[in-house]
Amino acid sequence: MVMKLGSLITATLPLLALAACGEESTPAEDAADVAQVREIHDNPPPVPVDPERISYNDIEKNNLFGAGCGFAPANSLSVIALAQPENGYLKLKGEIIHLSPDKGGAELPMSSWQNYAGEKFAFELKQLPGEGEESGVESTSWPGALTITNAKDQTVYQAEGTLQCGA
């Protein structure tokens, strides 16, 4: 056992000597390093989400009927966000997420709102510049954009597409 301990000490001493030969760090550098590690720990990078299509079955099952706006990403007809006068909805990992409107913010057509927030996520729907065109008996479509953020206000999804509002 003594032989193994002596070998371990002999092997470790050169490593300690190498570490001692390096430049000494200042307390400010040490504090900056600690702050950087804490920042990474306290604010990990955002984990992207992949919003799913809110199907007619989802609307029926969760009673999501009513006037408002829906967002479909470019090259898709699938609505992935619903904005209604009193509620907003996303579907993430098979679950319908309920969000509340920010009624102090910008209003969209059909008494829906630009911003909705929940416990873990929030979304912002924007009506982009451009002419709206009738897309049904009681609906109009515009260019739009959707941004979803997490509870730390980090962007986890962003897309442009179509904002369709109607009854």
Write the pLDDT tens digit of every residue in 21-67.
Answer: 556 878 888 778 787 787 777 778 999 999 999 999 999 999 999 99
Task: Kindly indicate the confidence band of residue 3, based on its pLDDT and cuts at 50, 70 and 90.
Answer: very low
Lowest mean pLDDT, pick from 17-21, 42-46, 73-77, 102-106: 17-21
9 exposed, middle or buried (CB, 10 Å; 0-12, 13-18, 19+)?
exposed
Q: Where are the domains of the chain?
A: 2-42, 56-166
Query: pLDDT per residue over 105-156, tens digit each?
Result: 999 999 999 999 999 999 999 999 988 888 877 899 999 999 999 999 999 9
Task: State the pLDDT confidence band at 13, using cuts at 50, 70 and 90.
Answer: very low
d(CA 29, CA 35): 10
Token duo for residue 137: 């008996």
Rounded Cα distance between 85 and 68, Å, is 7
For residues 114 and 106, the answer to whether their CB atoms sit within 8 Å is yes
